[in-house]
């Protein structure tokens, strides 16, 4: 999770919403990414989506069973849906998102009865550091 925070800080330095994600398998980092929405001008370039795509290319498989995603902010519906689809085992996140979080913040996508895959969800890991980074970023944006 500390590496995800470091990636989020790098994203902030590039004027991206500071979110970092690290995908781990067997205790080792498989892939890592930070938000690149502004740089790529691509609304789908969330840290989670980039880490997933890189892992699929690396493993030459769309299935990511046996992995854990560490991310500084609760995944949105797009990212949570992708994480369910690729069969990530566990999602660990820092700060919850009560407006748009899909892992318990606004709602829990994994509670949908017809969903064929469930992820273990661990919220609140390094929450304060993640929250402070996001709050500082948006506070600066509002003053500009």
Please identify every residue annotated as catalytic: 48
Residues facing 122 on adjacent strands: 92
Residue ranges of alpha helices (H) inside the chain are: 2-13, 37-40, 47-59, 77-85, 127-143
CA distance 8 to 4: 6
CA distance 68 to 88: 6
Q: Output the CA angle 97-119-85, nearest 5 degrees.
A: 95
């Amino acid at each position: 999770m500390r590496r995800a925070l470091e990636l989020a800080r790098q994203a902030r330095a590039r004027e991206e919403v500071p979110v970092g994600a690290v995908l781990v398998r067997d205790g080792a980092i498989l892939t890592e990414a930070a938000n690149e929405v502004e740089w790529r001008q691509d609304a789908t370039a969330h840290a989670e989506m980039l880490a997933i795509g890189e892992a699929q290319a690396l493993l030459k498989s769309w299935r990511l069973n046996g992995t854990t995603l560490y991310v500084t902010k609760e995944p949105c519906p797009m990212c949570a849906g992708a994480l369910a689809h690729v069969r990530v085992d566990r999602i660990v996140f820092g700060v919850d998102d009560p407006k748009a979080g899909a892992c318990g913040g606004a709602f829990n996508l994994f509670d949908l009865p017809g969903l064929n895959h469930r992820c273990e969800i661990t919220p609140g890991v390094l929450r304060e550091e993640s929250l402070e980074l996001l709050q500082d970023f948006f506070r600066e944006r509002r003053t500009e």
